[in-house]
Amino acid sequence: MERHFETELRELKEMILAMGGRAEKAIEEATQALILREPERFERVYQIEKEINTDHIKVDEASIKLLARQSPLAADLRLVVAVIKINTDLERIGDQAVNISHNGKRYVAEPPIKPLIDIPRMAQEVCTMVREALDAFVQQDHELARRVLNRDDSVDALKNQIFRELLTFMIADPKTIERALNLILIARNLERIGDHATNIAEDVIYAVTGKDIRHGAHPNPSSSTN
């Protein structure tokens, strides 16, 4: 029985949403493990990332099948191409959650150098970006997608602040260097997640409006610490 394009597309959207939920969960678990200093919790991140990888292959297969069977055109075609791209970004968010876990494990193995305030805030901000970018995709809401782009600036500002503060710790006491470096790397992992959410939002805007806003209205990812 031949099914309708809309049915298959709805299934694809549901797959992306479930995958996005897992990506958010991976970021949350990694951050909570770091904040609460619960090393065993990082293991959950590795488990969730495996599930994300399975999703990744399934979404790719389903998208290619849909293109082959339905040969969608115009807005429908742009939407399926957006799914293929969003899929890649979600998979890489999973990779970054794993990287946070590697760096986090090393950090919690030693005494803390400071209370973690900005990193949890940054993690929350990028989680919101991922959720809103996916909401924008499902609801085909390009205005919500644009708000995601604006959030990226505050993520960059937080990362620069974290970077500068940790630099003062390192210079004041070389014994903190390795630990401070782990936190700097975690801030960069979170920044990368923000970049992926930005990519998703840009793909949504293109899929919905047909307008390519990349490399134009929104500045490129380049701030003071790259």
Which residue in 141, 145, 160, 118 sits closest to 200, CA to CA? 145
Kind plus residue range of the DSSP H or E element containing 69: helix 42-70
Question: Rounded to whole angstroms, how far apart are CA atoms 121 and 202?
Answer: 24
Query: At its nearest, how many Å lie between a second copy and the CB of residue 110?
Result: 14
Query: At its nearest, how many Å lie between a second copy and the CB of residue 35?
Result: 19
Nearer to a second copy, 7 or 220 (CB): 220
Nearer to a second copy, 95 or 165 (CB): 95
Query: At its nearest, how many Å lie between a second copy and the CB of residue 126?
Result: 17
Contacting residues toward a second copy, per CB under 8 A? 49-50, 53-54, 56-57, 60-61, 63-64, 67-68, 71, 73-74, 77-78, 81, 84-85, 88, 95, 98-99, 102-103, 167, 170-171, 174, 177-178, 181, 184-185, 188-189, 212, 214-215, 220-222, 224-226
Q: Which residues touch 87 (CB under 8 Å, ≥6 apart)? A: 16, 19, 55, 56, 59, 60, 63
Amino acid in the structure at residue 125 = E
Nearer to a second copy, 15 or 170 (CB): 170
Amino acid in the structure at residue 17 = L
54 CA to centre of own chain: 17
Query: At its nearest, how many Å lie between a second copy and the CB of residue 214?
Result: 7
